[in-house]
């Protein structure tokens, strides 16, 4: 691998001149700069960004750890993070974990040993000690979507209200057998949405119809499909299904069509985590819309503020909660 000395030797200049030219720290004659850049290109020289970052005290890079960016609100959250980070002069490194704790651990260790000043994470909740250790080492951490650790700042939505309001809405639509496809109970948003559903069902004097499926390898579409089949097997006269996320809702719609159920005449469908794709479907999906891009922007502002603050002026814990809004479409 080429070094700074190799570049200097090929360009016939001092190492200090190469450094000044590449970092634009002081004037270097244009002809000399050209020789240096030609040498850099010829040698395929890549600067030691880690050493440079350590010298400057900042790497201006944020790590982002999310389950997936494929047809989910996490994709929109990452967009918000990237847009805001760019405005603030930061780069972003993205890790997809598929909600696998081992993959998450690997990503976290790679980021902590790499070029990041902070990490924005939607955690599985299984690496709490590691995340605390990373934060204790001086790398800032902000949780997004999932507030798994109350001692670390977070940007989330009001998931309990999502589950509660969606269920009450379906009851107003004269639904009496409302099915719920439940996500992993150890992940806060899934747990809170289910609590909201339970509260509304109890208040309305109805019976719960619940199936719990945990997506394998992040295949939430299959969870929606399989969950719907199981719900219909137990309750053939089901008249509504609540899915926790849109991609799961797509599986619900596919299963209902397979069973010759007409949406919304036979069964109404609502997602508790709206994604922009929901409005584009052949049968557009009613959902509780979460302002995901704004959540990403907010998380980025918070982490950059913490990164750039002096040790004596570090902001305290902050827990920001965004409110979802019901968007009625064809599935109800």
Residue 66 pLDDT more than 80? yes
Q: Is 88 inside a domain boundary?
A: yes
Candidates 280, 182, 174; CA nearest to 228 is 182
User: Looking at the structure, do residues 264 and 277 belong to the same domain, yes or no?
Assistant: yes
Tell me the average pLDDT across 212-234. 83
Residues 9 and 86 in one domain: no
Are 189 and 99 members of one domain? no
Whether the CB-CB separation of 300 and 81 falls below 8 Å is answered with yes
- What is the model's pLDDT at position 215? 55
- Residue 176: inside a domain: yes
**Residue 61 placed within a domain:** yes
Give all strands (DSSP E) within the chain, no chain letters: 61-66, 91-96, 118-121, 140-144, 154-157, 178-182, 209-212, 240-243, 268-274, 286-289, 319-322, 325-327
When pLDDT is averaged across residues 268-289 and rounded to a whole number, the result is: 81
Which bin fits 125, alpha (ψ -120 to 50), beta or left (φ > 0)?
left
CATH at 22: 1.10.260.40
Q: What percent of the chain has pLDDT over 90?
A: 60
- Domain membership flag for residue 328: no
Q: Rounded to two decimals, what is the model's pTM? A: 0.79
128 and 208 share one domain: no
Task: For residues 274 and 298, state if they share a domain.
Answer: no
Q: Evaluate if residue 72 carries a pLDDT over 70.
A: yes
The whole-number pLDDT of residue 146 equals 94
Residues 113 and 139 placed together within one structural domain of the fold:
yes
Between 35 and 56, residue with greater pLDDT: 35
Respond yes or no on whether the N-terminal peptide bond of residue 264 is cis (omega within 30° of 0).
yes
- Give the count of beta carbons closer than 10 Å to the beta carbon of residue 260: 7
Classify residue 216: in a domain, yes or no.
yes
* Residue 279 pLDDT grade (very low, low, confident, very high; cuts 50, 70, 90): low
Q: Number of structural domains, the chain?
A: 3
Domain of 123, CATH number, reads 3.40.50.2300
Report how far residue 332's alpha carbon sits from residue 329's, in angstroms, rounded to the nearest whole number.
6
Confidence of residue 25 (pLDDT cuts 50, 70, 90): low
Domain that holds residue 164: 159-289
* Rounded CA separation 303/299 (Å): 6
For residues 169 and 270, state if they share a domain.
yes
pLDDT band at 52 (very low <50, low <70, confident <90, very high): low
pLDDT of residue 198: 98
- Could you tell me which of 92, 106, 189, 193 has the C-alpha nearest to residue 148? 189
- Mean pLDDT on 85-106: 92
Residues 193 and 119 in one domain: no
Which range has highest mean pLDDT (105-109, 166-170, 310-314)? Answer: 166-170
Q: Is the pLDDT of residue 48 over 80?
A: no
pLDDT at residue 309 is higher than 70: yes
Q: Is the pLDDT of residue 117 over 70?
A: yes
Mean of all residue pLDDT scores within the chain = 88
Does a structural domain hold residue 82? yes
Q: In this predicted structure, which of 180-189, 244-253, 273-282 has the lowest mean pLDDT?
A: 273-282
24: pLDDT confidence band, cut at 50, 70 and 90? low
Query: What pLDDT is recorded for position 218?
Result: 61
Q: Is there a contact between 296 and 62 (Cβ–Cβ < 8 Å)?
A: no
Instruction: Evaluate if residue 73 carries a pLDDT over 90.
Output: no
Domain assignment present for 194: yes
The answer to whether residue 256 is domain-embedded is: yes
pLDDT of the residue at 55: 47
In this structure, the number of other CB atoms found within 10 A of the CB of residue 225 comes to 22
Please give the share of the chain, as a percent, with pLDDT higher than 70.
Answer: 90
Tens digits of residue pLDDT in 225-269: 999 999 999 999 999 999 998 889 999 999 999 999 999 999 999
């Amino acid at each position: 691998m080429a070094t700074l000395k190799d570049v200097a030797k090929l360009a016939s200049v001092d190492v200090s001149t190469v450094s000044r030219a590449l970092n634009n720290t002081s004037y270097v004659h244009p002809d000399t700069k050209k020789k240096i850049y030609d040498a850099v290109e010829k040698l395929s020289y890549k600067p030691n960004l880690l050493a440079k970052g350590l010298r400057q005290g900042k790497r201006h890079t944020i790590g982002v750890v999310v389950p997936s960016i494929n047809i989910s609100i996490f994709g929109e959250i990452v967009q918000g993070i990237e847009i805001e980070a760019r405005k603030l002069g930061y780069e972003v490194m993205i890790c997809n974990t598929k909600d696998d704790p081992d993959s998450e651990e690997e990503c976290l260790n790679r980021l902590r040993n790499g070029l990041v000043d902070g990490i924005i994470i939607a955690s599985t909740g299984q690496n709490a000690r590691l995340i605390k250790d990373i934060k204790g080492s001086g790398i800032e951490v902000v949780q997004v979507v999932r507030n798994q650790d109350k001692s670390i700042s977070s940007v989330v939505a009001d998931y309990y209200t999502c589950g509660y309001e969606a269920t009450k809405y379906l009851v107003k639509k004269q639904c009496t057998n409302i099915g719920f496809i439940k996500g992993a109970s150890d992940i806060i948003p899934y747990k809170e949405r289910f609590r909201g559903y339970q509260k509304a069902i109890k208040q309305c004097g109805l019976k719960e119809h619940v199936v719990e499926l945990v997506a394998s390898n992040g295949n939430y579409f299959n969870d929606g499909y399989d969950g719907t089949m199981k719900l219909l097997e137990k309750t053939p006269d089901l008249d509504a299904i609540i899915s926790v996320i849109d991609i799961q809702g797509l599986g619900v719609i596919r299963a209902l069509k397979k069973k010759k159920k007409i949406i919304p005449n036979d069964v109404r469908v609502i997602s508790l985590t709206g994604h922009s794709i929901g409005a584009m479907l052949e049968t557009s999906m009613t959902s509780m819309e979460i302002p995901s891009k704004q959540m990403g922007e907010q998380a980025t502002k918070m982490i950059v503020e913490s990164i750039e603050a002096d040790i004596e002026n570090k902001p305290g814990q902050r827990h920001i909660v965004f409110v979802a809004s019901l968007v009625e479409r064809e599935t109800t």
